[in-house]
Homo-oligomer: A and B are copies of this chain.
């Protein structure tokens, strides 16, 4: 299974954000929505072998299961509406118990630290970072978990935690690219066995 975790630093944790102003009024929800669809969609359908987590600051984690999702559309607005719908149901997420807010989408009260500790138990952490080792230089682990930040850098606390959890820093190229574009590149790298070229 391929996993992605995107940490949203300014993303809303309540559902009162405007779908007509995703970049400004919704904490760069445009970028986060594109990251969700880049991770989960092929041209003709879902990527069933993908699990995606959107971490909403220190408050919530929204987990998308590629194998269970239904009707995810590729546009930003309808994807952001799924996030908003999940947040409308946030009272149902109690303790560590996740609530399924629409088919294949689970909301839980897991902030950054809890989410990263969860994924560290599920796979091998790879932090996408422009200063990392070029991704093509070695074969990926069997169970990669790619951790990305949104438009902001990882905080010092996040960086320290990633190091504690043994995350390796890998880079995709010479320049920083948007998180959603990076996810497309990672998929291609894995789809084509790019690592076998060495």
Q: Give the B-binding residues of A (Cβ under 8 A).
A: 19-20, 22-23, 30-31, 34, 38, 41-44, 73-78, 134, 136, 151, 172-178, 180-181, 184-185, 187-188, 191-192, 194, 197-198
A44 touches B174 (CB 8 A): no
B74 touches A23 (CB 8 A): yes
Chain B residues contacting A191 (CB-CB under 8 Å) are 173-175
Q: How far is the CB of A129 from chain B (nearest CB, A)?
A: 12
Contact of A197 among B77, B181, B198 (CB under 8 A): B198
A41 CA / B151 CA spacing, docked (Å): 13
Residue of B nearest to A179 (CB): B43
A74 CA / B33 CA spacing, docked (Å): 12
A188 touches B176 (CB 8 A): no
A30 CA / B192 CA spacing, docked (Å): 27
B178 touches A181 (CB 8 A): no
A106 CA / B43 CA spacing, docked (Å): 29
A34 CA / B177 CA spacing, docked (Å): 14
A60 CA / B162 CA spacing, docked (Å): 49
A42 touches B185 (CB 8 A): no
A173 touches B188 (CB 8 A): yes
A191 CA / B192 CA spacing, docked (Å): 17
Chain B residues contacting A198 (CB-CB under 8 Å) are 197
- 8 tightest CB-CB pairs across the interface, nearest first? A30-B75, A43-B176, A181-B184, A184-B184, A173-B191, A185-B188, A197-B197, A23-B75
A23 touches B173 (CB 8 A): no
Residue of B nearest to A197 (CB): B197
Question: What are 18 A-B interface contacts by the 8 Å CB criterion?
Answer: A20-B20, A22-B77, A30-B74, A31-B74, A31-B75, A41-B178, A42-B176, A74-B178, A75-B76, A76-B77, A77-B77, A134-B192, A172-B192, A173-B188, A173-B191, A180-B184, A181-B187, A184-B185
